[in-house]
């Protein structure tokens, strides 16, 4: 039986529609949330990510600006850029797009962002709040996964969750969020032994490793929910033919474009899993939606605005 496909595009849209209403209420109170995105250098993927984030702001009627220091910037000069944004009252949200050039000390830069404006949730203050399960700004992709699970009616409490990947941005915070929702959580990584056997213990399997189609059907307990966080671009026709053997439409699309986006989960997992997020159209759209949620949350807290008159379902996972 084929897995139920969890539609992240639809859920992302629901969240944005709920936010639109909340932003309207804030604007009526004379408050326009403002986001500043710092894009250092000319990394093409980062340019696309930042463009999409700015577009999302514009679509929702938020104030946004993009700062584009050169790739040669020093740590001190970038700290000065962040310091200036910290001081500006109309900026509620600051994101520094990663990765930063080699000569820049990324940790110092992330530490310099005012925790109240840290909508990526990377500042140690917000990381500490997450660990202690206290209110704070949560990293967008893991928060998006939780939102997707909640809105898809997938039970977390008491279930066995296996997270593959332990990065500070995805794997680790995701594991903590699942733990706070009472899952029994295992974190796997590149040194885990017999990964397929550990993965097969999962009721909820979450892959965030950045390895195209690595999670094959033998990793999956029949009926498990599989969340694919990975985003990998493949360009090799032989790989595409192998991955998309049973998916003529995807193969056709690959041939037309010369590349395709695939997750960490092999398409054949759809034959074993109970529910599955697609790539694209799964977790991806949730990340930007949650950035917008965090921006509104940061605005409300910084400017002493009351809780929304029309609370969204988001409260369920905050
Ligand atoms: P990362 O490279 O920082 O971390 C990868 C993790 O996977 C590491 O902890 C590593 O130990 C683990 N890993 C790598 N190879 C492994 C293996 N063979 N077996 C077991 N574990 C292994 O990556 P990241 O920033 O956490 O991102 C992970 C993936 O998620 C990437 O594909 C990235 O593009 C994607 N991502 C998607 C979104 C989104 O919006 N959907 C957001 C962020 C990241």
> In the chain, where do the E strands start and end?
4-5, 34-38, 63-67, 93-96, 160-164, 184-188, 204-207, 225-228, 232-234, 260-262, 275-276
Residue 164 beta carbon below 6 angstroms from any ligand 1 atom: yes
What's the mean pLDDT in 287-311? 91
Give residue 87 CA to ligand 1 midpoint distance, Å: 34
Closest-CA residue, ligand 1 atom 39, reads: 284
Residues 6+ apart with CB under 8 A from 257: none
pLDDT for 243: 95
Q: Tens digit of pLDDT for each residue in 86-103?
A: 999 999 999 999 999 999
Give residue 149 CA to ligand 1 midpoint distance, Å: 19
Full set of structural domains in the chain with CATH: 32-116 (3.40.50.10860), 140-284 (3.40.50.720)
Q: Tens digit of pLDDT for each residue in 170-220?
A: 999 999 999 999 999 999 999 999 999 999 999 999 999 999 999 999 999
Confirm if 146 and 15 have CB atoms less than 8 A apart. no
Closest by CA to 141, choosing from 121, 155, 159, 156, is 121
Give residue 43 CA to ligand 1 midpoint distance, Å: 19
What's the mean pLDDT in 141-166? 98
Residue 170 beta carbon below 6 angstroms from any ligand 1 atom: yes
pLDDT for 318: 52
Mean pLDDT of the chain: 96
pLDDT bucket at 261, cuts 50 / 70 / 90: very high
pLDDT bucket at 257, cuts 50 / 70 / 90: very high
Residue 106 beta carbon below 6 angstroms from any ligand 1 atom: no
pLDDT for 273: 98
pLDDT for 306: 86
Confirm if 215 and 224 have CB atoms less than 8 A apart. no
Confidence check: pLDDT of 311 > 80: no
pLDDT for 309: 76
Q: Which residues are catalytic, by number?
A: 53, 97, 120
pLDDT for 1: 67
What's the mean pLDDT in 271-278? 98
User: Which token pair is 104?
Assistant: 């820049």
Give residue 121 CA to ligand 1 midpoint distance, Å: 17
Confidence check: pLDDT of 238 > 90: yes
Closest-CA residue, ligand 1 atom 42, reads: 141
């Amino acid at each position: 039986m084929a897995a139920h496909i969890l539609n992240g595009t639809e859920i992302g849209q629901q969240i944005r529609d709920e936010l639109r209403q909340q932003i309207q209420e804030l604007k009526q109170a004379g408050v326009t949330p403002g986001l500043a995105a710092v894009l250092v250098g000319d990394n093409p993927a980062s340019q696309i990510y930042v463009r999409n984030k700015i577009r999302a702001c514009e679509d929702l009627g938020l104030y946004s600006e993009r700062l584009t220091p050169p790739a040669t910037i020093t740590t001190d000069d970038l700290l000065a850029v962040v310091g200036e944004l910290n001081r500006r009252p109309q900026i509620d949200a600051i994101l520094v797009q990663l990765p930063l050039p080699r000569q820049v000390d990324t940790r110092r830069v992330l530490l310099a962002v005012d925790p109240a404006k840290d909508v990526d949730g990377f500042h140690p203050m917000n990381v500490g709040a997450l660990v202690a399960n206290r209110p704070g700004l949560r990293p967008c992709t893991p928060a998006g996964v939780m939102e997707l699970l909640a809105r898809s009616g997938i039970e977390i409490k008491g279930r066995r969750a296996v997270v593959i990947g332990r990065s500070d941005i995805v794997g680790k915070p995701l594991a903590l969020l699942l733990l706070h929702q009472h899952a029994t959580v295992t974190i796997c990584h590149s040194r885990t032994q017999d990964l397929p056997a550990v993965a097969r213990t999962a009721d909820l399997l979450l892959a965030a490793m950045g390895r195209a189609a690595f999670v094959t059907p033998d990793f999956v307990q029949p009926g498990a929910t599989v969340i694919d966080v990975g985003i990998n671009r493949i360009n090799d026709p032989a790989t595409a033919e192998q991955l998309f053997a049973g998916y003529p439409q995807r193969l056709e699309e690959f041939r037309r474009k010369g590349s395709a986006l695939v997750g960490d989960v092999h398409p054949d997992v759809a034959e074993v899993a109970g529910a599955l997020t697609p790539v694209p159209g799964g977790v991806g759209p949730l990340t930007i939606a949650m950035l917008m949620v965090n921006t509104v949350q940061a605005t409300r807290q910084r400017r002493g605005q009351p809780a929304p008159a029309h609370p969204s379902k988001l409260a369920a996972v905050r």
